[in-house]
Amino acid sequence: MKLYYAPNTCSLSPHIVLRELGLPFELVKIDNKTKKTEDGRDFLAINPKGYVAALELTEGQILTEGPVIVQYLAELKPECGLMPTAGSWERLRLQEWLNFITSEIHAGSAPLFNTTLPEEARSAICEKLFRRFDFLQQVLSGSDYLAGNTFSVADAYLFTVLRWCRFFAIDLNRWPALSAYMVRIESRPAVQAALLAEATL
């Protein structure tokens, strides 16, 4: 498998999951501005949507959309327990988390990367985002992980998008359970290895 990624983006989530599962894979870096791969190929020919993450399967298909990629990967090695069994209530809860992260935190915070955003728009985005953080603070005050008592693909994703707060000058210490969660997830060997490989440590 090949993971098309760009440092400091949402592709870190499937990257972490690949390492947590101990699956063999190759990393291919994308320049998100030029849409070229590091070996000079046109990324738009690989993923016409033009964004990471994209996973090239051994059979040649390209799978996109981070929340779907991590579910595909976890399903390859169910014994690793990164996702509850299909058909269970716990699986639905996990999907509920993935959807919350993608729509409320990922899409909810990504506009803050735009440095020309007027202050009014930034405040409105932060006001809504901080309500989501308040909710996460409540949940993570009573649990080390999002779904159940163990690390799951949802944690790889939440860690990835909350990490962007450093670029937005948002101090996560305002939500002590969230900042403790970030330290907890970052200390995992697979997360350390992914960060090191992307050279963003």
Ligand X SMILES: N[C@@H](CCC(=O)N[C@@H](CS)C(=O)NCC(=O)O)C(=O)O
The answer to whether the beta carbons of residues 28 and 38 sit under 8 Å apart is yes
> Tokens at residue 181, please?
């969660």
Instruction: Establish if 13 lies at the interface with ligand X (CB under 6 A).
Output: no
Instruction: Establish if 52 lies at the interface with ligand X (CB under 6 A).
Output: yes
**Contact pattern for ligand X over residues 102 through 121, marking x by CB under 6 A:** x-------------------
**Contact pattern for ligand X over residues 122 through 161, marking x by CB under 6 A:** ----------------------------------------
Q: State which of positions 61-90 bind ligand X (CB under 6 A).
A: 65-66
* Shortest Å, Cβ 102 to ligand X: 5
Q: Which of 168, 163, 158, 165 is nearest to 122 (CA)?
A: 168
Considering only residues 3, 4, 5, 9, which one is a binding residue for ligand X as defined by CB under 6 A?
9
* Backbone angle region of 147, left / alpha / beta, with phi > 0 → left and psi within -120 to 50 → alpha: beta
* Distances 104 to 73, 81, 87, 130 between C-alpha atoms, Å: 23, 25, 25, 11
* Contact positions vs ligand X (CB under 6 A): 6, 9-10, 32, 50-53, 65-66, 102
